[in-house]
């Protein structure tokens, strides 16, 4: 089964395949603005993209090139540097390092290339120059350069902006782009180059249009072009970036390069907290450090962020983290049983594992909740010997499933030295049966434990083994 993913442009499920003759799958996703710690809403998008990247690696081994940018110059980063009296580079390095540390804790793979806006000023100027020469951009009186939205007939196809009556030149379209500047010919035009202002301090670069800095949207187009080429296979990000950021990327890239920018677009939905949008004023904006201070593990957060379909809003609660911690413990038990050679069943002819259903659910529009459900259901059946005990294929496929979900860091339950390995394996199987409410299997395994001379005491989140008194 090939990967089929919802395409935000066509509003349909489409198969993912590399378009270039070299067979390399070119994948770009928008990264963070490094001026403060990323919050868990940001990390929902990054964790979802990480699962997508891992699934692509499984589908096209050695043939995936993943690029994710870092926005290290914009109004927010400059303001933080000015407020703190520090160089821009020092501020952005601090928060880049923090972002990387949080990603590592959440077991997110690093992209193959992680370019920065300040490291690609030349590339951005070159693109703007082409757009100026083609008549898609103009220079305002203050030296800023704007993209002329009316010059691109395809504007609005991704976001259906025109269907929502945000026509070029309308007051509402102008409002959405108002952050860019005041001297535009049309309210819907957006900044490619921002002329230097006093508040920018030393953070400016020379260009054919005077000193200044690039606008926000042009950086992704320029970095994608340099590292992946004029056309990419997949562009992803949070739904909040769909308009205007991704709409603007399409316009400037296709006008500059004269070809389709991306074959596929994928957007993950918003994360709610306790049923409400995250905000500092509501006190429901969490960072990873906030949750760690409450005693939760990064892996529990990763699991909780994958518990809902990426294209649907997910309501996050602290209770969901408790549920995630419990689920991870149950998964540890399944891992222990399936990897125990004592319970491995030899097969006359190799057969695919039933756990392949987990991977198929992920290939079907990245359905993470269905994949997790299949992992627990089938994993429990195999660990309890329902339909046959664990095979070599089951153990190998389990590792693949955990790898794609990014849960491979889960440690297998370690038997206590005083308890024989075979007794611990029996206890693990009984615990798995109990969690699945398979009471008949649980009772039978308890009797086996008693016959071996051991008593199993059940707790809320685990069990304890004690030798029976003689």
Q: 202 and 93 in one domain?
A: yes
What is the per-residue pLDDT for 417? 41
pLDDT tier for residue 415 given thresholds of 50, 70 and 90: very low
| 231 and 85 inside one domain | yes
Q: Is the pLDDT of residue 414 over 60?
A: no
Looking at 172-186, 298-312, 337-351, 446-460, which range is the least confident one? 172-186
Considering 223, 240, 268, which residue would you say is the last residue of a domain?
A: 268
Are 25 and 168 found together in one domain?
Answer: yes
Same domain, 251 and 386: no
In a domain, 314, yes or no: no
The CA-CA-CA angle for residues 192, 197, 203, to 5°, reads 75
Number of domains observed in the structure of the chain: 2
Residue 125 sits in a domain whose CATH number is: 3.40.50.620
SS3 content of the chain, % helix, strand, coil (to 5): 45, 15, 40
Task: Express each pLDDT in 324-375 by its tens digit.
Answer: 999 999 898 899 889 888 888 877 677 899 999 999 999 999 999 999 999 9
**Are residues 68 and 9 in contact, defined by beta-carbon separation less than 8 angstroms?**
no
Residue-range definition of the domain harbouring residue 366:
321-467
Q: What pLDDT band is residue 176 in, cutting at 50, 70 and 90?
A: very low
The pLDDT value given to residue 179: 46
- Are 184 and 93 found together in one domain? yes
Which range (171-180, 291-300, 352-361) has the least confidence? Answer: 171-180
Kindly state whether residue 194 falls inside one of the protein's structural domains: yes
pLDDT band at 1 (very low <50, low <70, confident <90, very high): confident
Judged by average pLDDT, the poorest of 163-172, 318-327, 461-470 is: 163-172
At 244 the pLDDT is: 95
Instruction: Supply the pLDDT for residue 116.
Output: 98
Count of Cβ atoms closer than 10 Å to residue 356 Cβ: 17
Domain membership of residue 360 (yes or no) is: yes
If we measure between CA atoms, which residue out of 141, 137, 118, 119 comes closest to residue 128? 137
Residue 10 forms part of a structural domain: yes
What is the pLDDT at residue 283? 80
- The pLDDT > 70 percentage for the chain reads 93
CA torsion, ordered 360, 362, 364, 369, to nearest 10 deg:
110
Reported as a single tens digit per residue, the pLDDT across 2-31 is 999 999 999 999 999 999 999 999 999 999
334 in Cβ contact with 376 (< 8 Å): yes
Which of the listed residues 204, 238, 268 is the one where a domain comes to its end?
Answer: 268
3-state secondary structure at position 19: coil
- Give me the pLDDT at residue 282, please: 82
Closest CA to 261 of 274, 269, 252, 270: 252
pTM: 0.86
Residues 156 and 75 in one domain: yes
Which segment, 25-39, 282-296, 452-466, is predicted with the most confidence on average? 25-39
Distance of CA 395 to the CA centre of its chain: 26
Task: Identify the weakest region by mean pLDDT among 18-32, 44-58, 191-205, 447-461.
Answer: 447-461
- Assess whether 248 and 356 both reside in one domain: no
DSSP 227-289: HH-SSBSEEEEEGGGIIIIIHHHHHHHHHHHSS-SBS-EEEE-PEEETTEE--TTTT---BHH
Q: Report the pLDDT averaged over residues 135-152.
A: 96
Residues 375, 236 within the same domain: no
Distance CA 358, CA 286 (A): 30
Domain assignment present for 304: no
Work out the pLDDT band at 182, boundaries 50, 70, 90.
low
Higher-pLDDT residue of 311 and 164 is: 311
Q: Are residues 352 and 237 in the same domain?
A: no
Is 126 inside a domain boundary? Answer: yes
168 pLDDT above the threshold of 80 = no
89 and 13 fall within a common domain? yes
Take residue 267 and report the two structure tokens written for it: 């957007």
Pair (126, 57) in one structural domain? yes
Is residue 302 assigned to a domain?
A: no
Query: What average pLDDT is seen over the chain?
Result: 91
With a cut of 50, say whether residue 65 has pLDDT above it: yes
> Is there a domain that residue 42 lies in?
yes
Q: Which of 252, 268, 284 is the last residue of a domain?
A: 268
* 84-126 confidence digits (pLDDT tens): 999 999 999 999 999 999 999 999 999 999 999 999 999 999 9
């Amino acid at each position: 089964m090939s990967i089929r993913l919802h395409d935000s442009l066509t509003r349909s499920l489409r198969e993912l395949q590399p378009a270039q003759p070299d067979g390399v799958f070119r994948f770009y996703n928008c990264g963070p603005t490094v001026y403060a710690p990323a919050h868990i809403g940001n990390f929902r998008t990054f964790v979802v993209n990480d699962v997508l990247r891992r699934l692509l690696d499984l589908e096209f081994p050695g043939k995936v090139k993943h690029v994710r940018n870092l926005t290290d110059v914009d109004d927010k980063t400059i303001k933080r540097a000015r407020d703190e009296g520090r160089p821009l580079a020092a501020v952005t390095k601090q928060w880049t390092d923090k972002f990387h540390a949080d990603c590592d804790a959440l077991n997110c793979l690093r992209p193959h290339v992680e370019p920065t806006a300040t490291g690609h000023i030349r590339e951005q100027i070159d693109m703007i120059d082409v757009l100026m020469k083609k008549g898609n951009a103009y220079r305002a009186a203050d030296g800023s350069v704007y993209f002329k939205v009316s010059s691109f007939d395809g504007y609005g196809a991704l976001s259906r902006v025109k269907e929502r009556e945000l026509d070029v030149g309308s007051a509402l379209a102008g409002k959405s782009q108002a952050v860019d500047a005041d001297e535009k010919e049309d309210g819907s035009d957006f900044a490619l180059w921002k002329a230097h202002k006093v508040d920018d301090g030393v953070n400016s670069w020379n260009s054919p249009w005077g000193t200044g800095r690039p606008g926000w949207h042009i950086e992704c187009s320029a970095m994608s072009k340099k590292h992946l080429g004029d056309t990419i296979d997949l562009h992803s990000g949070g739904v909040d970036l769909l308009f205007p950021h991704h709409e603007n990327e399409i316009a400037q890239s296709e006008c500059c390069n004269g070809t389709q920018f991306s074959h596929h677009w994928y957007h993950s939905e918003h994360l709610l907290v306790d049923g409400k949008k995250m905000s500092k004023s509501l006190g429901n904006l969490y960072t990873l450090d906030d949750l760690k201070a409450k005693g939760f593990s990064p892996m529990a957060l990763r699991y909780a962020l994958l518990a809902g379909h990426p294209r649907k809003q997910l309501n996050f609660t602290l209770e969901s983290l408790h549920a995630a911690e419990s689920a991870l413990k149950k998964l540890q038990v399944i891992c222990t049983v399936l990897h125990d050679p004592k319970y491995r069943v030899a097969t006359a002819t190799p057969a695919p594992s039933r756990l392949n259903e987990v991977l198929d659910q992920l290939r079907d529009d990245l359905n993470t909740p269905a994949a997790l459900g299949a992992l627990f259901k089938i994993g429990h059946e195999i660990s309890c010997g329902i339909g046959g005990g664990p095979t070599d294929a089951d153990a190998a496929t389990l590792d693949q499933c955990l790898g794609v979900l990014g849960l491979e860091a889960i440690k297998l339950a370690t038997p206590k030295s005083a308890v024989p390995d075979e007794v611990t394996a029996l206890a693990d199987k009984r615990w798995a049966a109990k969690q699945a409410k398979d009471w008949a299997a649980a009772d039978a395994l308890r009797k086996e434990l008693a016959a071996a001379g051991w008593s199993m005491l059940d707790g809320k989140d685990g069990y304890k083994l004690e030798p029976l008194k003689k």
